Amino acid sequence: MEALHIIGEEHQSLAAVLHAIRFMLKEVAAGRLSPDLKLFQAMVRYLDAYAEQRHHPKEDRLFNYLSLRSGEGKEALDKLAEQHLAAPQRIAALQHAVDDYVADPARFAEFAQAFEQYADFYRSHMQLEEEVVLPLVRRHLTAEDWAAVNAEFREEMAANDLGDASKADFKAFFSKLVACAPAPLGLGPRPWQD
């Protein structure tokens, strides 16, 4: 069940990144941390490049096998498909908020609020996937489905991880984040360098 393992790991990383940003925004709001604008910008890029552009398309492939095998969970699948399709608008709103904040530090509260909205959305999105859809996927996919979807995931990973230096590796980004985020969450604060 390689595909499930990959989705699970990506959810964990995504939850950790959202938690880290939320923690930093609270520290900045309380005046205990000076904001690292480059770090916030890098996080928005990461959410776009991985969560929106690479994670959801893999899920669409996996969930597609469920709809081929069973009508169970149809309502949840429809909702998730709609939410996956709305990725460009969702990330554009966050990108806009971080750009406005970088241009004008007085707009911190707006950025923090836009981020809260994004994080709240993700929490319920992942919850629906993990609590409703993934158990059905485990129950209904056949051995052939697993072989096929695992191969599709391997192809996707190989195609995207090779030859695209502009997209820093998922794990490399994550360790860099840990190095820059303030204690007790990370080992920093240290300034983010692109």
Site for Fe ion, rule CB under 5 A: 56, 59, 129
SS3 120: helix
> In whole angstroms, what is the distance from residue 133 CA to residue 90 CA?
22
The residues facing 182 across adjacent strands are 188
In the complex, least distance from residue 14 CB atom to Fe ion, rounded to whole angstroms: 7
To Fe ion, the closest distance from the beta carbon of 73 in angstroms equals: 14
Output 56 or 90, the one with its CB closest to Fe ion: 56
User: Closest separation between CB of residue 121 and Fe ion, Å?
Assistant: 11
- Mention every residue, 6+ apart, whose C-beta is less than 8 A from residue 22: 115, 116, 119
Q: How far apart, in whole angstroms, are the C-alpha atoms of residue 153 and residue 57?
A: 10
Question: Other C-beta atoms within 10 Å of 67: how many?
Answer: 16
Q: Between 36 and 129, whose beta carbon lies closer to Fe ion? A: 129
Q: How far is the CB of 56 from Fe ion (least distance, A)?
A: 5
Q: Which is nearer to Fe ion, 129 or 145 (CB)?
A: 129
CB of 41 to Fe ion, least distance (A): 23
Please say whether the beta carbons of 41 and 111 come within 8 A: no
| Half-sphere exposure for 30 (CA within 13 Å, toward CB) | 8
Q: Give the nearer residue to Fe ion in terms of CB position, either 39 or 126.
A: 126
Closest to Fe ion by CB, 4 vs 185, is 4
CB of 162 to Fe ion, least distance (A): 23
Q: Give the DSSP H or E segment for 118.
A: helix 108-128
83 or 95: CB nearest Fe ion: 83
Question: Minimal CA–CA distance to 189: which of 26, 32, 13?
Answer: 32
Whether the bond between 184 and the residue before it is cis, its omega within 30 degrees of 0, is yes
